[in-house]
Structure 1
Amino acid sequence: MNKYNLLMLWAVQFILHFSHDAPFYVETCYFKNDQRCPACIRTFILKFGFGRTPEVGTYRHRDGQRGPDRPFIKTSSLFRNNPDVPDIHSPAVTQVKEKVFTSIDLDFCLSSLMHFLLRCYKSICPIYVYFVSVQRQTIPVLMAGKDAVVRSQTGSGKTLAYGVPVVQSLQAADPKIKRSDGPLAVIMVPTRELAKQTFEIFQKLLKPFTWIVPGVLMGGEKRKAEKARLRKGINILISTPGRLVDHIKNTLSIAFSAVRWLILDEADRILDLGFEKDLTVILNAINANGPSRQNVLLSATLTEGLSRLASISMKDPVSIQVSEIPEESRATLSKITVAKAEDGQQADSFAVPENLQQHAVVVPSKLRLVCLAAFILSKCKFDKGQKLIVFVSSCEVVEFLCTLFTTVLCGQRDASTTLKHHSALNFLRLHGNMKQEERMDVFQEFSHCRSGVLICTDVAARGLDLPQVTWIVQYNPPCSVAEYVHRVGRTARIGTRGCSLLFLTPSEVAYMDVLASHSISLSEMKMETLLSVLMKDERFKGRGKWNNKSAQALEQELRERATVLQSDFENVVHASEDSVQTAKKALQSFLRAYTTYPSSAKHIFHIRSLHLGHAAKSFGLRDAPQGLVTKATKRPGAKDKTKNKEKRYSEQFAYFFFVHSSCEYLKEQENHRTPVTTSRSR
């Protein structure tokens, strides 16, 4: 074979690699069966499938039986082309400690509230011998008639810290209050679920005092029924800001002339959700007719906006902060504050529950979905009695993950597996786009179940007391350290134990330093530890037979099982066009949420640091959907060139062979031409 034929062979290999249209052009070339075409090229063309549709083969099921012909699907490997996973070196910090329980001293026992407090605790909390620290410090201040700004770790009992003084003051009022007096206490909360929970707590507190009527107003309920309750009379009004503003503008029977208490629970979250204008309307309505009142602001974190609100609506408030910052943390905090003052950032130390074990795992983007599924299997299927809350960034991601995990992980491959594992793997969803009735049903079901997984957005990150939650999984990192604190606060509440797990990609490891600067320390959990549970589940067994139990063989088998699980996810996603579109919408919403991180965190969470193909893999998509990159990053005409690249290669390939065959034909004609002699005539 000469050099020219080798060049032709290389051209065929090149076109086969880059073009799916090459078989069509070769099939139509007249020289395909021509003997003058080099034999090596003819053999190569016939061997590698010219003349039939490319990428069609016979699919073999896992049981070894041959199935019907269907397109062969080329997928990328989970464990190739991934960025290196760096080692986590979490700085040594001293976490801010907050004493949850405190003993009852003699002066406090002799107060008139002692009998009332014990009676309330018997109906709400089984641990009524000890008072919570925030209650021990807050109740005397509020009973003295002072305004207060209360900061305490989430899950420390702040609701009772203001609930007990409110009920005590109203039941001791003389003359005795009546239902027709209207609202005497207004309590604002950011979410519907927290409004419902606060209402249930006040119902228990008011069992001895049946003449005091609590009520709740929130979005999703019928306005007509709420107006009827307002006309009858509500003494303790619990509401979300938006619905209360709606009634202020449209309900004539609501009046604030007798309001004595105004309480903003999770006040910073109310401002974060954009209710600042609604709060202004509410404050103006209460100030217009109401007498002087007590104001209470409560939160686990205090922001600049909250301080501004306190200065506007409160008079000489008492600041109550239960956490105790160690001396070394104070020194570190002061240095950070000075260093960040020029950037306008505010460093702060946050108190998290002392019994909370915090972990972080670094996972490449392609392996995120498999690792999350493996972690859920380990805690809910093989370790009974675990309740998990998984926080994600958007409503679309909640819907996608809940549907996908229910289909794949609940063992619907055969009926026996479904019946066996259905009770252990119970997936629920909660986000802001759900109907009110559905949200309440999910809230109640997850509160009363023994084991389950709640996939939700930050709508469940504030104030909710979901009993017996053992693990908090932050699949998408929060936008701020304050949000991190509120998320992990759904577990390890009131002295119980709990754990949290934060998912990070290799490009996001610097977030650990940000948490450390706020006195939050996390321990590393290895990705291999999460995936090891797949060795217990025979549903994800690969085709290989690994009799050798060496470390290398076990690692290879683990990778095969993870690949099988990922293939199951991808098969479910690509089973229909609707499921593909659902996955694409979830990916797009994830990317949109990724662009909303504050500027101070852009060096960690930047959209350009994401590999779109790897991110698509974590949503069960085999290829990155087109159109996710902004058009501004493309050159004019680049899209058309990319679209027509394969066609241009195929046309060049056909033209190349046409020129070759034409030259050979002319050369042959020249060799077989007979010379013609002519005589010159004189």
Structure 2
Amino acid sequence: MRMAKGHMTRTVFTFYCVCVCVCVCVCVCVCVSVSCGRLLRSVAAAASSRGAEVQAYLDDRRPVSDSLLLQVLEERLSRPDCTRGGWILHGFPCDLQQARSLQESHQQPNRVFFLELTDDVCLERLSLRATDPVSGQSFHPVTRPAPSSEVQHRLKTRPEDSMESVTQRLKQYRLHSAALQFVDTRTPLMMSSSDEQLCRNSSSDMTSPPSRKRKRQKAQQPWAPPSDGTDGTPKKKKKDGAKETGRGGIKTSSLFKHNPDIPDIHRPAIAQLKEKIFTSDSFSDLDLHPHLVATLNKVMNISTLTSVQKQTIPALLAGRDAVVRSQTGSGKTLSYAVPLVQSLQSIQPKVSRSDGPLALIIVPTRELAQQTFQTFQKLLKPFTWIVPGVLMGGEKRKAEKARIRKGINILVSTPGRLVDHIKNTLSIAFSAVCWLVLDEADRTLDLGFEKDLTVILNSLNSAGPARQNVLLSATLTNGVTRLADVCLNDPVSIHVSGAPCSDLTTTSAVTCDPEGASQSESFAVPEALKQFVVVVPSKVRLVCLAALILDKCKFSQNDKLIVFISSCEAVEFLHSLFTAVLSRPSANHKPPLRFLRLHGNMKQEDRTEAFQQFSASQSGVLLCTDVAARGLDLPQVTWIIQYTPPTAAAEYVHRVGRTARIGARGSSLLFLTPAETAFITELANHNISLSEMKLQDILSSLMFDDVYKGRGKYHSKSSSKALEQEVRERATVLQTEFENFVHADARSLQAAKKALQSFLRAYTTYPAHLKHIFHIRSLHLGHAAKSFGLRDAPQGLTAAAGPGASGSHRKNQNQARKQTGSPAKNQNQKKLTGKKRFGQREVRLIRSEFSSGLESRDAKKKKEEE
């Protein structure tokens, strides 16, 4: 019996062979175990010309040449003990060339199996050596003792000894692994279960004798590596999703096969609305306190008024209520903050902390609350007697109560936390409130928060005198106009529009839009914003996103990106995936990519830290949900990537508003599948025009890094077809890395499954008028699973009725329906309209993004009862 054990790394022939060849297998007592590493050392120790040649390789720490190694093996395997009873060869072959060389030397094993070592083990043994192979000194680059000056000098002069070089070599060895495993599947008779059990017993107990009660093996065909082609791929094409026995029955599929055709994009001819950001007027032209103007100029480096500020500040200084509508990034925060500070500083006698809240600012998210609070801190530097404060979910309620008792004059809060204090904090009072500001009012009204605002308005109306009210938003929805009718007194409507018919800013009485007007409302975007769309099949989405991030943040330039994703679980999964696979050191000594995450399920201190780190960084990637889509001023953001499409055109406008702020340049990219291209027309109905970006152009950025080079030898410069093939092969290599990471352990696999399921749940929450574009049944679950690094769609998904669902699962669903009865026949189940059903699902999905951060008393009672 003849067996060959191949490792994934070629370094078994260097001085590392003692560490790598750790598994010795005894199958039958007559088989001779031959280890390449031990054999080479024994030959090198012998006083012979061949031993001197081997010793020269070992001294230089170079892999022994295949020709010399084959000579040594041929001499050893031809000895009587091997020819008489058989042999087991350890550590050879390690690539296809060695496999063919072994066949040509007429040393053909009967069966081949592989010992796979994890990347961590291989890297530790390749680069984090405990003993230097040249000098014999004991050292470790991470732990003690530190390498000596001699070793450090050699590591600097020999780049191939660095961690980056070793990692690069390891990737090349991994590329041979797939071909070797294909050779493994071509072997007529593989290692049986008894052999596998014997290997485990032998490796765990080397002293135990092998069992003699073993059945005689059947005749076996000689093993041969594939001779067709250089990359070891079979001639016969496998079907998409065909099983590979060498992978333990795991289904894998090609990345570019069986994808839907990408349709041609027909962009309607529209006139994109653009708003003029800056004016020629300055803050010094307004009737403001000189110290306030100086603070704007010196501390905040702002001197020129934007269009919305030019119209809003005089109206608010005159004491009018206002509804302000302008594009994101146009300076709406200062448009109410400046007149508010001017009004409070002019009060005589001076304001004191004991006066309590004089101004109340309601914002929808915690990050926006923190940002607004910091803006007021800067504006109030010359007016130290006015105290700002912030209340938001996730903070300790006891500490917030203490701040309220001490006194806060300008109170910034999220609605949920403020309602909680109204109900539970006796020291909070609104009797002196003379300003009420609702920033991002449309978002605050969404998803059931109208009840929270009702509680706040009732408290203000019952406790305080007449006050000045301001509503601000980038979009004017029916909900905002209804709220304006309730809480505003004879308001002025300020709308900065760049419509072709008029270049003037309109200032008029606010009017309520007709029902359904929001579906045809025109939106304005920053003038310096470039908007793109890319049509990507579901299977290629993950690789396309990774290639775009590498291109913008690593290969060409150091951009600052925000990636919008539909669910918290998907954000967590992609953050761990990209951090592990894409944040590796580069050959040009650039710092590794930095990935941050932001979503509603994070602890408040983690959310604050991520927000501050991304704001202060010069480059990086922020993976987030729509919690970062409203009002946040994140400096120097150059790209907005909408990995999952928004649920409305207004949400699209808010997302892209995180870039191209205050006249800066920026770009946005919207990901759509071939079945979702009708959303481009939907955006065009709102005067939003997108330019197409080709998938091939994004994936071509992988050509800048040979880490993703495949096994094929294509002359990409000779023809566009060869270039396309090489780009696809590199994309496949990157996808394989993602899938290997996902399937490496149970935790990452479970995280990928949860992310996929949350993506499917979020996909069902699109409103009724977009269901013809985003419908769960148009998704191929197998392809969607590929975009989360899964090789196949998990069983038992709730949305498994799509094209990729198995027939057995549909059968189980039908049986469950028969047992439980239809919803119409079930008396205990209430029939909901599509609008209510959509609202309830979306509340459950993203309520945590804007909640107070505290459990209600009713919820606590239920937990205690349970």
TM-score, length of structure 1 as denominator length = 0.80
1:235 aligns with 2:404: no
Shift of 1:418: 9.1
Aligned to 1:79: 256
Aligned to 2:135: none
1:253 aligns with 2:427: yes
Aligned to 1:293: 467
Output one character per residue of 1:359-391: Cα deviation in whole Å (capped at 9) or x when no partner. 000000000000000000000001232100000
Shift of 1:632: 8.2
Quote the Cα distance in structure 1 between the aligned partners of 2:799 and 2:634: 41
Query: Is the 8 Å Cα contact of residues 58 and 66 (structure 1) preserved in structure 2?
Result: no
1:449 aligns with 2:617: yes
Letter in 2 for 1:407: A
Q: Sort the Cα spacing of 1:638 and 1:78 in 2 relative to 1 into closer, same or farther, 3 A.
A: closer
- 5+ residue gaps, structure 2: 1-110, 117-172, 185-190, 192-245, 505-512, 813-866
3-state SS of the aligned residue for 1:462?
A: coil
3-state SS of the aligned residue for 2:471?
A: strand
Q: Aligned match of 1:375 in 533, 543, 548?
A: 548
* RMSD of equivalent CA atoms: 2.7
Letter in 2 for 1:71: R
Q: Aligned match of 2:558 in 378, 381, 385?
A: 385
Q: Which has the higher contact order (CA 8 A, sep 6+)?
A: 1
Show the 5 A alignment for 1:182-581: 182-327=356-501, 346-411=519-584, 417=586, 420-421=589-590, 423-547=591-715, 549-581=718-750
Output one character per residue of 1:559-600: Cα deviation in whole Å (capped at 9) or x when no partner. 111111111111111111221111111001000100000000
Count of equivalent residues:
571
Letter in 2 for 1:564: V
Shift of 1:112: 2.5
Aligned to 2:14: none
Letter in 1 for 2:554: K
Aligned to 1:33: none
Aligned to 1:34: none
Quote the Cα distance in structure 1 between the aligned partners of 2:644 and 2:773: 13
Letter in 2 for 1:62: L
Aligned to 2:90: none
Aligned to 1:599: 768
3-state SS of the aligned residue for 1:237?
A: strand
Query: Is the 8 Å Cα contact of residues 646 and 652 (structure 2) preserved in structure 1?
Result: yes
Aligned to 2:295: 120
3-state SS of the aligned residue for 1:187?
A: strand
3-state SS of the aligned residue for 1:169?
A: helix
Shift of 1:639: 2.8
Shift of 1:547: 3.8
Quote the Cα distance in structure 2 between the aligned partners of 1:220 and 1:309: 28
Output one character per residue of 1:111-165: Cα deviation in whole Å (capped at 9) or x when no partner. 432735532322454341x211111000111111110000010010011000001
3-state SS of the aligned residue for 1:104?
A: strand
3-state SS of the aligned residue for 2:323?
A: strand
Q: Sort the Cα spacing of 1:258 and 1:285 in 2 relative to 1 into closer, same or farther, 3 A.
A: same
Quote the Cα distance in structure 2 between the aligned partners of 1:404 and 1:640: 29
3-state SS of the aligned residue for 1:494?
A: helix
Output one character per residue of 1:435-466: Cα deviation in whole Å (capped at 9) or x when no partner. 00000000000000111000000000000000
Output one character per residue of 1:80-100: Cα deviation in whole Å (capped at 9) or x when no partner. 111110111211211112111
Output one character per residue of 1:460-509: Cα deviation in whole Å (capped at 9) or x when no partner. 00000000000000000000000000000000000000000000000111
TM-score, length of structure 2 as denominator length = 0.63
Output one character per residue of 1:188-211: Cα deviation in whole Å (capped at 9) or x when no partner. 000000000000000000001000
3-state SS of the aligned residue for 1:361?
A: strand
Query: Is the 8 Å Cα contact of residues 419 and 455 (structure 2) preserved in structure 1?
Result: yes
Aligned to 1:162: 336
Q: Sort the Cα spacing of 1:631 and 1:83 in 2 relative to 1 into closer, same or farther, 3 A.
A: closer
Aligned to 2:202: none
Aligned to 2:309: 135
Quote the Cα distance in structure 2 between the aligned partners of 1:554 and 1:485: 36
Quote the Cα distance in structure 2 between the aligned partners of 1:547 and 1:556: 10
Letter in 2 for 1:115: P
Show the 5 A alignment for 1:5-44: none
Query: Is the 8 Å Cα contact of residues 291 and 382 (structure 2) preserved in structure 1?
Result: no
Quote the Cα distance in structure 2 between the aligned partners of 1:260 and 1:640: 61
Quote the Cα distance in structure 1 between the aligned partners of 2:112 and 2:604: 49
Letter in 1 for 2:787: S
Quote the Cα distance in structure 2 between the aligned partners of 1:140 and 1:514: 37
Q: Sort the Cα spacing of 1:628 and 1:242 in 2 relative to 1 into closer, same or farther, 3 A.
A: same
Output one character per residue of 1:511-537: Cα deviation in whole Å (capped at 9) or x when no partner. 111111111101000000100011111
- 5+ residue gaps, structure 1: 1-53, 331-339, 644-682
3-state SS of the aligned residue for 2:661?
A: coil
Query: Is the 8 Å Cα contact of residues 370 and 562 (structure 1) preserved in structure 2?
Result: yes
Quote the Cα distance in structure 2 between the aligned partners of 1:631 and 1:616: 12
Quote the Cα distance in structure 2 between the aligned partners of 1:641 and 1:297: 49
Quote the Cα distance in structure 2 between the aligned partners of 1:630 and 1:522: 31
Query: Is the 8 Å Cα contact of residues 384 and 451 (structure 1) preserved in structure 2?
Result: no
Letter in 1 for 2:567: S
Q: Aligned match of 1:100 in 254, 258, 277?
A: 277
Letter in 2 for 1:520: I
Query: Is the 8 Å Cα contact of residues 391 and 400 (structure 2) preserved in structure 1?
Result: yes
Query: Aligned residues: percent identity?
Result: 67
Show the 5 A alignment for 1:47-58: none
Output one character per residue of 1:576-635: Cα deviation in whole Å (capped at 9) or x when no partner. 12211111110010001000000000111111111111101111111111122558899x
Aligned to 2:13: none
Quote the Cα distance in structure 1 between the aligned partners of 2:503 and 2:689: 12
Quote the Cα distance in structure 1 between the aligned partners of 2:719 and 2:402: 72
Query: Is the 8 Å Cα contact of residues 289 and 342 (structure 2) preserved in structure 1?
Result: no
Q: Aligned match of 1:615 in 784, 795, 806?
A: 784
Quote the Cα distance in structure 2 between the aligned partners of 1:342 and 1:442: 40
Shift of 1:327: 3.2
Shift of 1:66: 5.6
Shift of 1:289: 1.1
Query: Is the 8 Å Cα contact of residues 776 and 802 (structure 2) preserved in structure 1?
Result: no
Query: Is the 8 Å Cα contact of residues 359 and 524 (structure 1) preserved in structure 2?
Result: yes
Aligned to 1:62: 175
Letter in 1 for 2:288: L
Quote the Cα distance in structure 2 between the aligned partners of 1:212 and 1:611: 58
Letter in 1 for 2:561: L
Quote the Cα distance in structure 1 between the aligned partners of 2:457 and 2:811: 59
Q: Sort the Cα spacing of 1:283 and 1:55 in 2 relative to 1 into closer, same or farther, 3 A.
A: farther
Aligned to 2:752: 583
Quote the Cα distance in structure 1 between the aligned partners of 2:701 and 2:286: 55
Query: Is the 8 Å Cα contact of residues 284 and 293 (structure 2) preserved in structure 1?
Result: no
Letter in 1 for 2:359: A
3-state SS of the aligned residue for 2:175?
A: coil
Q: Sort the Cα spacing of 1:229 and 1:361 in 2 relative to 1 into closer, same or farther, 3 A.
A: same
Quote the Cα distance in structure 2 between the aligned partners of 1:417 and 1:567: 20
